[in-house]
Amino acid sequence: QTHFPFHSLQAKMSRPVQARRLEGIDKNIWVEFVKLAATYSKVNLGQGFPDFPAPGFLTEAFTRALGGGNHMLHQYTRAFGHPPLVKVLAQFFEKLLGRDLDPMTNVMVTVGAYQALFCCFQALVDEGDEVIIIEPFFDCYEPMVKMAGGTPVFVPLRPNPPKDGKLMSSADWQLDPAELASKFSERTKAIVLNSPNNPLGKVFSRGELGLIAELCVEHDVLCISDEVYEWLVYDGKQHIRIASLQGMWDRTLIIGSAGKTFSATGWKVGWVVGPDRLLQHLRTVHQNSVYHCATIAQEAVAQGFQRELMLYGKPESYFVQLPKELQQKRDWLVQSLDDVGMKPIVPEGTYFLVADISQFKSDVPDVPNSDEPYDYRFAKWMVKNKGLAAIPLSAFYSEAHKNNYTHFIRFCFAKEEVTLKAANDILKKWKQEKTSS
Per DSSP, helices labelled H in 5-55 are: 6-13, 29-40
In sequence order, what DSSP letters do the residues of 316-349 get, joined into one string?
Answer: T-HHHHHHHHHHHHHHHHHHHHHHHT-EEEB-SB
Torsion (CA) 185, 186, 190, 192 in degrees, nearest 10: -10
Question: Does 48 help bind ligand PMP (rule: CB under 6 A)?
Answer: yes
HSE-CB of 427 using CA atoms within 13 angstroms: 26
Question: Does 396 help bind ligand PMP (rule: CB under 6 A)?
Answer: no
Question: Does 157 help bind ligand PMP (rule: CB under 6 A)?
Answer: no
Q: How far is the CB of 232 from ligand PMP (least distance, A)?
A: 11
| Contact (Cβ atoms closer than 8 angstroms) between residue 345 and residue 168 | yes
Query: Pick from 156, 270, 304, 344: which binds ligand PMP (CB under 6 A)?
Result: 270
CB nearer ligand PMP, residue 359 or residue 398: 398
Contact region for ligand PMP (CB under 6 A) — 14-22, 107-115, 152-160, 242-250? 107-115
Window 223-262: contact mask with ligand PMP (x via CB under 6 A): ---x-x----------------------------x-x---
The Cα 85–Cα 226 span in angstroms is 19
Window 302-331: contact mask with ligand PMP (x via CB under 6 A): ------------------------------
Residue nearest to ligand PMP (CB): 112
Helix, strand, coil fractions of the chain, as percent rounded to 5: 50, 15, 40
Within residues 189-228, the interface with ligand PMP by CB under 6 A covers 194, 198, 226, 228
Burial class (CB in 10 A: 0-12, 13-18, 19+), 291: exposed
CB nearer ligand PMP, residue 270 or residue 344: 270
The Cα 145–Cα 130 span in angstroms is 9
Question: Does 50 help bind ligand PMP (rule: CB under 6 A)?
Answer: no
Question: Does 298 help bind ligand PMP (rule: CB under 6 A)?
Answer: no
Q: How far is the CB of 266 from ligand PMP (least distance, A)?
A: 9
Question: Does 405 help bind ligand PMP (rule: CB under 6 A)?
Answer: no
Query: Pick from 80, 118, 121, 138: which binds ligand PMP (CB under 6 A)?
Result: 138
Contact region for ligand PMP (CB under 6 A) — 112-120, 171-179, 208-216, 370-378? 112-120
HSE-CB of 246 using CA atoms within 13 angstroms: 5
Within residues 350-389, the interface with ligand PMP by CB under 6 A covers none
Neighbour count for residue 244 (Cβ, 10 Å): 16
The Cα 366–Cα 159 span in angstroms is 23
The helix (run of H) or strand (run of E) holding residue 272 is strand 270-273
Query: Pick from 112, 136, 150, 323: which binds ligand PMP (CB under 6 A)?
Result: 112
Contact region for ligand PMP (CB under 6 A) — 72-80, 89-97, 110-118, 369-377? 110-118
Question: Does 113 help bind ligand PMP (rule: CB under 6 A)?
Answer: yes
| Length in residues, the chain | 437
Torsion (CA) 42, 47, 53, 55 in degrees, nearest 10: 160
CB nearer ligand PMP, residue 116 or residue 153: 116
The Cα 242–Cα 232 span in angstroms is 17
Question: Does 265 help bind ligand PMP (rule: CB under 6 A)?
Answer: yes
Size of the site for ligand PMP (CB under 6 A): 13
Contact footprint for ligand PMP (CB under 6 A): 48, 112-114, 138, 194, 198, 226, 228, 257, 259, 265, 270
